[in-house]
Every structure is written in C-alpha cells, then in structure tokens.
Amino acid sequence: MGTTEVLYEVEDSGVAWLTLNRPDAGNAVSPDQRVHLLERLEEAGEDLRVRAVVLTATGDRHFCSGGDLRAARPEATTLPGAPERPIGTVMKGLVRSNGAQRLIMALQDCPKPIIAAVNGTAAGMAARDPPRRRRRLSRDAAGRAAEGQGDLLLR
C-alpha cells in the first residue's frame, strides 16, 4: 500500500479493519489518504474472506475531523478571458475519481457490511448519518459485533 496513514488488516474471523492513522491531524482525511481508502474498500469488497469491514481510527480524541484543509490542492488552470467559474466546474469536481463524493459512493456501494467504530469526534463527512446497511458503534462493540459476539447481527 505504501502508506501508514491508512492501516488495513483482515483477521481470520473475516473482519477487515480499515483504520485512519493520523491522530496528530485529528484523523483528517487527506487526498492521498482518500485514494488509499478507496483502494482498500474495493479490495475488501472483492475479498471472499471478508465478511464485514470495521472503519475506525487511531487515538482516542478524534474518529475523523473531516477533510484535511491544509493538504495541497491542485491549481485550477484557466485560459485568459475565461470566466472565473465555467459551466460544469462543480460537476467535474464531483465526478473526479478520488474526491470526497467518490469516497461516499464507495462506502455506500461496498458489498460488505461496514461498521463505523467511532472513537472520538466525528466531523464533516464522518458525522453524516450512516447509509443504509451501515452501523455506528463504539470501537469495542464494533469488534465484538463484526465477529458475531455482540448485539448486532451481520448478514
């Protein structure tokens, strides 16, 4: 994978742990980290060993404080005389393969149940209501439920 900002581990029990690992930045998601999350979600969805995915974070203060606003963004290129915001600019931003909208779609489209083990502040995209078939639990409860030992039944 090439990064330590997203940890991925599949246990023998069939639980895939997808862990945000930037506690010093409040686990804010950078563009590079988002790409790795997309790759791991696709991998988990295709892996026949994986029965459920638990999305969590390191540290105990922040689950995810949203997008990393300090991360470098590519400069927009404009031609001389072009309008500041040409028609279609917003849609192009939504369709980009590694944008925040793509991550939301990947979470919703993953064929495996996803449990958010929220261990601290959840802000921005992380604070949304979980999509259907998704659950938010404490970190300990999520691990027990994903392994079939808790109150949440996974199908």
- Whether the full predicted model's pTM is greater than 0.85, yes or no, is no
Please check whether residue 78 lies inside any domain of the structure. Answer: no
C-alpha span between 142 and 155 (Å, rounded): 15
In tens, the pLDDT along 34-65 reads: 999 999 999 999 999 999 999 999 998 888 88
Q: Look up the CATH number of the domain holding residue 54.
A: 3.90.226.10
The helix/strand/coil state of 39 is helix
Give me the sign of the Cα torsion angle 26, 27, 31, 32: positive
Please check whether residue 141 lies inside any domain of the structure. Answer: yes
- Backbone φ and ψ for 129, nearest 5 degrees, come out as -65, 140
Please check whether residue 76 lies inside any domain of the structure. Answer: no
Please check whether residue 106 lies inside any domain of the structure. Answer: yes
Look at the chain and report how many structural domains it folds into. Answer: 1
* Structural domain boundaries, residue 122: 6-69+86-146
In tens, the pLDDT along 78-132 reads: 678 777 766 766 666 555 545 777 888 888 899 999 988 888 888 876 666 544 4
CB burial readout 121-155, b (16+ within 10 A) else e: bbeebbeeebeeebbbbebebbbebbbeebebebe
Contact 125, 68 (CB under 8 A): no
